[in-house]
Structure 1
């Protein structure tokens, strides 16, 4: 880590690593803004129950966050349970396809004291657009996007979604987090 005044932590999903798709581009956007980047990698236990997910993620994220001065957290799916860490430490965040149908995730998001961006799609069973808009004014909801933020039809439609997602993150970084 250099002497950057910005820091970001990439928090993976269950089977979606920190160098994959949305998280990769989130990291690029942060680095282009001068942030030092920490990538968490993990292999969640196969038998990890929904009730154990919040504490397991907390145990993975906390040691990384504790060694950085006020990082931005960027998490995908399972990583959105990192919202508890963000709430405890007053950190801004971006949650990609957060688990908005899981009460523990929503409860953690409700405790947030710093702004956060929620990104999800209407074809994702874990997404609840009404809840997202209730939690924060910073929401990108993509019609027809699934849990991977992919949409039906020609692949270009999905790459267009990627463009919308990266633009939303860059705008959030520039206008809200690191203005």
Structure 2
């Protein structure tokens, strides 16, 4: 069986940005295929009423006819609703753990999910993340973009930590023995 993944961007973080690009590369390195979602129309902060954001995001998730891995960043983590409904594994990068529909969906999820966030991200709650999943990577001092203050090399190292966590999650949890 060929592995597949659907990549869902953030509000201002496209599907080809580093965190999502390397997560998708990890899928492809394991022989999988990746489908990148681009918001249509492009996401404009404040243009969608807060109560409608989850339905706007989930409406843009391609039909699930296999058992793909969902990979989402920030805004894309509203697709946790789809993961919960279809029992899909997921990688949630900087999930919106302060947004009720996202948290509710993560609580309902039965498939494994990797949650990745930083302690300087106002949308992250490390205790809640560890309550929601045994698969958590928390980076001390990282913001919503997973950047650390100071030299960019430190933030590049964070990217390496995230990719390593994604690869381990794929190899040990989602597709063991792929």
Residue 104 of structure 1: CA displacement?
1.1
> Who is 1:130 aligned against?
127
> Structure 1 length normalisation: TM-score?
0.94
Residue 65 of structure 1: CA displacement?
3.7
> Who is 2:49 aligned against?
49
Q: How does 1:21-100 map to 2 (within 5 A)?
A: 21-42=18-39, 43-46=42-45, 47-61=47-61, 64-66=62-64, 68-100=65-97
Residue 81 of structure 1: CA displacement?
0.5
What is the DSSP-based 3-state SS (H/G/I as helix, E as strand, rest coil) of the residue aligned with 1:52? helix
* Aligned residues between the structures: 173
> Structure 2 length normalisation: TM-score?
0.94
8 Å contact kept, 1:10–1:18: yes
**Please, which runs of 5 or more residues in structure 1 have no aligned partner?**
none
User: For 1:174 and 1:54, how far apart are their aligned partners in 2?
Assistant: 30
Residue 45 of structure 1: CA displacement?
4.4
User: For 1:35 and 1:93, how far apart are their aligned partners in 2?
Assistant: 15
CA displacement 1:119-167 (0-9 Å, x = unmatched): 0000000101111000000000000000000001111110110010000
User: For 1:116 and 1:33, how far apart are their aligned partners in 2?
Assistant: 18
What is the DSSP-based 3-state SS (H/G/I as helix, E as strand, rest coil) of the residue aligned with 1:51? helix
> Who is 1:106 aligned against?
103
8 Å contact kept, 1:11–1:76: yes
User: For 1:45 and 1:147, how far apart are their aligned partners in 2?
Assistant: 18
8 Å contact kept, 2:11–2:44: no
Instruction: Give the ranges of 4+ consecutive aligned residues of structure 1 lying more than 6 Å apart after TM superposition.
Output: none
